[in-house]
Amino acid sequence: MFIQTEATEDPSRLRFLPGRPVIGEGVLEFGDRQAASASPLALKLFEVAEVSALSFGPDTITVTKKGGDWQRLKPALLGTIMEHFMSGAPVLIEPPRSLARPASAGANALAEEIRTALHQVIDPELGYNIVDLGLVYDVFVDESGAAVVRMTTTTPGCPATSYLMEGAQECTAAVGGVDTVEVELTYEPPWSPDMMSDDAKRHLGIA
């Protein structure tokens, strides 16, 4: 597998061309590691400390760095991309089929409202909200107001699973414009403390 690179107008951004499809269509932006929970590849790329943001196109991967030199960063990024594609793992965890079409601006705004509302759900063991803990992987809403919340727990079989899912259901249903709610539980990718926000890490005393 041969991966090409292209410079961009922004010296902090570098484009990688793996020579195979990345996502089906459009552009998918990941502003931080927490936003990348639905992509095993993005999560791996964010493990490179200098990576600050990612953008996936139909056949491109654009990496934004917050520091460091590209000559030093490129080998680690190339290795991560090559290892992922050679493994056969998916770039993205597929969204629910009923919501797989691109969302409108209104639906995206409603999804953000839902994500905000989900801050009210507190994990009883860790004492912090499920969004900042990184337990909410994705929120999808279609034009009819049908919402799907994809979430996880810190461990499979967590005793608080039902409590957290019911809380997510209730908070989502309370958002204006939401007609129906489905809460999906997944363990792919497995949760890790790296998925927590900086505020959650500080709250729990994690450096």
| pLDDT per residue as tens digits for the range 9-34 | 889 999 999 999 998 777 788 888 77
Write down which residue in 54, 87, 120 finishes a domain. Answer: 87
Query: How many independent structural domains does the chain possess?
Result: 2
Q: Looking at the predicted structure, is the pLDDT value of residue 76 above 80?
A: yes
CA distance 140 to 151: 12
Q: Give the CATH number of the domain where residue 24 resides.
A: 3.30.1370.70
* Residue 191 DSSP code: P
CA distance 35 to 177: 24
Listed in order, strand segments (DSSP E) in 142-199 are 146-151, 180-185
Residue 92 covered by a domain: no
| pLDDT per residue as tens digits for the range 120-131 | 999 999 999 999
Task: Record the tokens describing residue 191, joined without a space.
Answer: 């949760």
Q: Domain containing 27: what range?
A: 4-87
Q: Does residue 155 or residue 144 have the better pLDDT? A: 155
Same domain, 65 and 10: yes
Same domain, 135 and 77: no
Assess contact for 32 and 54: CB atoms under 8 A.
no
Same domain, 83 and 112: no
Global model pTM greater than 0.85: no
For residue 13, the model assigns a pLDDT of: 92
- CA dihedral for 59, 141, 123, 116, sign (positive or negative): positive
Q: Does residue 158 or residue 187 have the better pLDDT? A: 158
Residue 38 covered by a domain: yes
Average pLDDT over every residue of 56-71:
90
Q: Looking at the predicted structure, is the pLDDT value of residue 98 above 50?
A: no
